[in-house]
């Protein structure tokens, strides 16, 4: 059962969906990710794309980020995500956009939203990464010192550059990998 690993809600359970439509990030990968970005988290604005039931964004809140915008278009996942935010008492720090990611990026861009950390866990083998990073750049959603973290299969080669973003780190954990991008 997925759980919050550290911070003020450490040990609390995160509900998930049955089946294979969502793929919660393993505790090992999640712990490694947050060890890497921990010093950036304090008071940061986080955008959790392809959020599923919210594991990464909720971990961010537990570890001290200011707020999280979750983007997930699967109605079943959105219901569980909303329940998770409520049960962890984070509703006032969460905004849930039940949209397709591309539509959500356009909407957030129209509202002039800017984020410090963008977490992406798109469906594997669908090549959403480049399209999504390009849309984030076009929408000016990434702060000057902001980063984008993409979870993907370790066997999927990610582009070194996408627009003005360059991958500055790659970490592999079994069959899962994390690619870290920032503006050049």
pLDDT in tens, 117-152: 999 999 876 778 999 999 999 999 999 999 999 999
- Of the candidates 106, 116, 110, which has an alpha carbon nearest to the alpha carbon of residue 48? 116
CB of 152 closer than 8 Å to CB of 129:
yes
Q: What stretch of H or E contains 104?
A: helix 101-110
CB of 151 closer than 8 Å to CB of 120:
yes
20: pLDDT strictly greater than 80: no
pLDDT of residue 27: 81
108: pLDDT strictly greater than 60: yes
pLDDT of residue 35: 95
pLDDT of residue 173: 95
pLDDT of residue 23: 62
Question: What are the chain's domains?
Answer: 27-183 (3.40.50.150)
- Confidence bin at 21 (pLDDT 50/70/90): low
Distance CA 20, CA 129 (A): 20
pLDDT of residue 157: 87
Q: What percent of the chain has pLDDT over 70?
A: 96
| pLDDT digits 0-9 by tens, 115-124 | 999 999 998 7
| pLDDT digits 0-9 by tens, 27-63 | 889 999 999 999 999 999 999 999 999 999 999 999 9
């Amino acid at each position: 059962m997925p759980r919050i690993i550290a911070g003020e809600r450490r040990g609390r359970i995160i509900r998930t969906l049955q089946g294979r439509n969502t793929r919660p990030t393993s505790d090992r990968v999640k712990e490694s990710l947050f060890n890497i970005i921990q010093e950036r988290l304090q008071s940061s604005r986080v955008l959790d794309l392809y959020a599923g039931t919210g594991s990464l964004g909720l971990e961010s809140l537990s570890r001290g980020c200011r707020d999280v915008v979750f983007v997930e278009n699967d109605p079943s996942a959105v219901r569980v995500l909303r329940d998770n935010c409520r049960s962890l008492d984070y509703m006032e720090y969460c905004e849930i956009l039940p949209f397709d990611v591309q539509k959500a990026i356009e909407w957030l861009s129209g509202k002039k939203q800017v984020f410090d950390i963008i977490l992406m866990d798109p469906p594997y083998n669908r090549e959403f990464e480049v399209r999504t990073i390009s849309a984030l750049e076009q929408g000016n959603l990434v702060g000057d010192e902001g980063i984008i973290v993409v979870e993907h299969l370790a066997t999927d080669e990610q582009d070194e550059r996408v627009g003005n973003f360059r991958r500055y780190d790659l970490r592999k954990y079994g069959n899962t990998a994390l690619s870290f991008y920032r503006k050049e």
